[in-house]
Amino acid sequence: MNYKYRIKIVWSDEDKCYLVKLPEFPNALQCYFTHGNTYAEEVLELLIEDYEETGKPLPSPQVLQLA
């Protein structure tokens, strides 16, 4: 997949894992717990698959315009 969505990744000392937030998906859970080297890609792929399977339209990616 080659989607251009923002992914915010933060470490949680409390949970001992990374938390992944996907700002363009406001109706989805805002934090996903994940482990491994490809955690961001896995989370995004699973969320997109869920949207497609349930017929929800994917949100538009926010694109940063550099001057």
Whole-angstrom CA distances from 64 to 17, 18, 60 are 28, 25, 13
- Is 47 inside a domain boundary? yes
pLDDT attached to residue 54: 93
* Structural domains in the chain (count): 1
Whole domain around residue 17: which residue ranges? 8-54
- Is 61 inside a domain boundary? no
- Is 60 inside a domain boundary? no
- Is 3 inside a domain boundary? no
Q: Which two tokens stand for residue 16?
A: 């001992």
Q: How many residues does the chain have?
A: 67
Q: Which of the four pLDDT bands, split at 50, 70 and 90, describes residue 55? A: very high
Q: What percent of the chain has pLDDT over 70?
A: 75
- Is 67 inside a domain boundary? no
Q: Which two tokens stand for residue 49?
A: 């698959």
